[in-house]
Amino acid sequence: MSLRTWRRIAWAYHILFAIGVTWPVQALVNDPEPFVLGLPTQMMWAAGWVLGSLLVLWRVDSARSREIAAVADRRSAAHRPGIHSAGTHGAGSPRGGE
């Protein structure tokens, strides 16, 4: 998916995160039992949202890195010698228009 899509997913997730860990939604899991992985349900609920946030932000960063690499590849391809019809060294270049 594109960076734009992942950013939209991140915004939506974090809005749901804010709703999910505040009252009244948090009250739905406000029960000391049952334990989930040794933690009370309410604490595991919050930890799950934080871990989900970590995964979403990791995907945003991954998509951003891919997009930066793609832009760098396009720029380097455009500046390779021999691509343009004009010579690679003009009169104003350090090589003096050889």
Specify the pTM.
Answer: 0.70
Q: Which long-range contacts (CB under 8 A, 24 or more apart) does 14-21 make?
A: 14/53, 14/56, 17/49, 17/52, 17/53, 20/45, 20/49, 21/45, 21/46, 21/49
The pLDDT assigned to 33 comes to 81
pLDDT at 25: 87
pLDDT in tens, 59-76: 999 999 999 999 988 888
| Contact criterion met (CB below 8 Å) for 26 and 45 | yes
Residue 42 tokens, joined = 């309410």
Mean model confidence pLDDT for the chain = 85
> Does residue 95 surpass a pLDDT of 70?
no
C-alpha closest to that of 48 among 58, 59, 37: 37
